Homo-oligomer: A and B are copies of this chain.
Amino acid sequence: MSEKIKPSKKIKPQTLKGFRDFLPAPMLVRERLMQTAREVYRSFGFTPIDTPALEYSEILLGKGGDETDKQLFRFQDQGDRDVAMRFDLTIPFARYAAAHLQELGTPFRRYHIGTVWRAEKPQKGRYREFVQCDFDTIGTKANAADIETLMVIHELLTRIGFDRFTIRVNNRMVLNGLLNRLGATDRAVAILRALDKLLKLGRDAVVAEMTQQAGVSAAQADEILRFAELKGDADSLLTEAERFVAGDAAGEEGIARLRELVSVCAAAGIPAERLAIDLSIARGLDYYTGTIYETFLGDLPGIGSVCSGGRYDNLAELFTSQPLPGVGASLGLDRLLAAMEELGFVDQIPSPAHVLIVVMSERLLTQYFRLARDLRAAGLAVEVFADNKPLGKQLQYADRKRIPWAVIAGDEEADRGRWQLKNLSSGEQRELATSELAGEILAGTRIAD
């Protein structure tokens, strides 16, 4: 392969299939979402970590199924090491925990906002590079951590600006308890696989699959489905569910943990309509072992869960013999952003600047920069236009960038310390003294966090 090219031949400025450039407007929203997530995680005492984008392939291949293996960006590096790009933040965290646990101690709560890569077939809303925002509490089995996980999810969605959403919660112990009572624990995988299709295929198809492929009786399938379809407010639903698992210790413990979660969350101020018990959700077949979370937007449930997670028995068993139970969830940043765009929650503003200082005379650069400094000190983002172009061009620029204010002064005005402040949406213009500008602009501007 020859890389030498003639300077005159231009290279096509394309990105790889499934990869994206981020333009300023959506990137500003992305940064705001990530910053909100950081602030929420920190406010609950979660601490940030980071791990490399590249790992030894054996680390990443250890747990993933065949599907994951095929999606790995994997290669030999310069030292002939077999390496791959991380495809999630969970396995790197497991390796990290095993490597540093001595130093970190338990319980340990971390968040990790990072890019991951999967060579999936690109499709609408699916990319080969995306950001995950995970948080986990490890080293404890206490239900307090499960309850707090739900509170973090609630706070995330609320702080991002959502009002109508539901966090659906289940506990795998309850379903396990029922299967145990039915003597069907050995067929759990096939049963759960069928159950997962309930929404898509409907009751009859699921019963058929359970009896034909999972080898349970029609009566058993019916019982499982009556259980999964229990509806109602959390208290009465749990009371009914308890009958299905009566006598099974794990099942009863699952019910008790859900009950405590519901009552503590209610008492701590989480509105009842935002929390729903849903006994049908399982989230994959064998990873989660306790509480499970999925979060749906009231205005856009079809987009799927925007924040999901659960409790697991042992995070890092591939790397250490020390058992590490934990609970956590992951905010689906890209899915959330797509939802916000679809719902019109996102102003497409391509500049963070509140004010453009128009350059009317190169002689005045000092005055322009001084004014910019003073306005910044007052908390405003200020752009001094980079060229001495005609006024109309500069105002057009501000308009295109959705900058709300322009400050204009030529030699004569600037020498008198006077400025024209122009509101670029209304077109209104007023003459003000230097000392009046910041106050006037601040009074008419919503400053984002």
> A residues near B, CB below 8 A?
1, 3, 5, 7, 10-17, 19-24, 27-28, 30-31, 35, 38, 42-59, 61-62, 69-70, 73, 75-79, 81-83, 85, 95-96, 98-100, 103-105, 107, 109-110, 115, 117, 119, 129, 137, 139-140, 142, 144-145, 147-148, 151, 260, 263-264, 267-269, 316-321, 350-353, 356, 359, 362, 365-366, 369-370, 372-373, 376, 380-388, 397, 400, 403
A353 touches B45 (CB 8 A): yes
B13 touches A47 (CB 8 A): no
B319 touches A382 (CB 8 A): no
Shortest CB–CB separation between residue A438 and chain B, in angstroms?
A: 13
Pick 6 A–B contacts, CB within 8 A, sort by A. A16-B83, A22-B50, A23-B104, A47-B351, A53-B53, A264-B369
B78 touches A119 (CB 8 A): yes
CA distance A15 to B95 in the complex (A): 9
Shortest 7 CB-CB contacts between residues of A and residues of B: A45-B383, A75-B75, A19-B52, A45-B353, A24-B47, A42-B352, A13-B98
In the complex, what residues of B have CB within 8 A of residue A53's CB?
53, 85, 115, 117, 129
A77 touches B119 (CB 8 A): yes
A383 touches B109 (CB 8 A): yes
CA distance A270 to B3 in the complex (A): 46
In the complex, what residues of B have CB within 8 A of residue A148's CB?
369, 384, 386
B16 touches A81 (CB 8 A): yes
CA distance A228 to B93 in the complex (A): 52
Contact of A52 among B16, B62, B316, B384 (CB under 8 A): B16
